[in-house]
Structure 1
């Protein structure tokens, strides 16, 4: 059994429709939406937005116990120019700038922003990884 993988990434959200609208403005296409959850296909993985009250209940917690976490979701791009374009598009869609893309100490190029509920995203170019035409890391 291979446990060295992630099948689904789920963000707890307070306002499902506002968050779904934000990701639609980024160009994300929904695979499924109900009253409590939205799913997006990531080509072999899924990304979900789930109403925080429902997710907390699933985890035997209260919404106040959920916190915001200290995670960063990262999307890698094939070039610095792609990072800049995607970063600008995220801000135009309603994201909040955290750090403008710039060269970073390990040799890459990264910038970060937050969605309307504060989930942190990093857009990056990594000179040590090769991406295929779909943007999947191949090396």
Structure 2
């Protein structure tokens, strides 16, 4: 696994208020599906996602995520890389929460929890190809 975080997803209860907070900090939204608010960072993206929807996507009760719920996203270059990393994570002691699978939006992803419970999404997003150095940008580079 490359030493980087591509996408930080915060599970939030009030999308409008939370998005407005970051905008008040001077952050600018980038184009994203209606259910997501995204802010590109330097080499990463911060995503806001409804807490209930995040819990449903992972396959856990929203209460298990707690306040301030989030996932750390690690984007890769192909479905095969997602499969490989999920297998290596499980072998290293991770708990697989969602096996890799196609997404409704055309990508491929799975979720695992590290031994302390931090949730990682491992994903391939054909609409956001990585830069040669692995840097992530919500809508890709070029």
Deviations 1:72-125 (A, max 9, x none): 100100000011111111111100010000001111101000000111000000
Q: Which structure has the larger Rg?
A: 1
Shift in CA distance, 102/133, structure 1 to aligned 2, threshold 3 Å: same
Between the two structures, name the one with larger relative contact order (CA 8 Å, sep ≥ 6).
2
SS of the equivalent of 2:105 reads coil
Partner of 1:89: 88
Cα separation, 2, equivalents of 1:96 and 1:4: 34
Runs of 4+ in 1 over 2 A off after TM superposition: 2-5
Partner of 2:100: 101
2:135 is equivalent to residue 136 of structure 1:
yes
TM-score normalised by L of structure 2: 0.50
Partner of 1:116: 115
2:125 is equivalent to residue 126 of structure 1:
yes
Q: Which runs of 5+ in 1 are unaligned?
A: 6-42, 46-66
* Paired residue total: 80
TM-score normalised by L of structure 1: 0.51
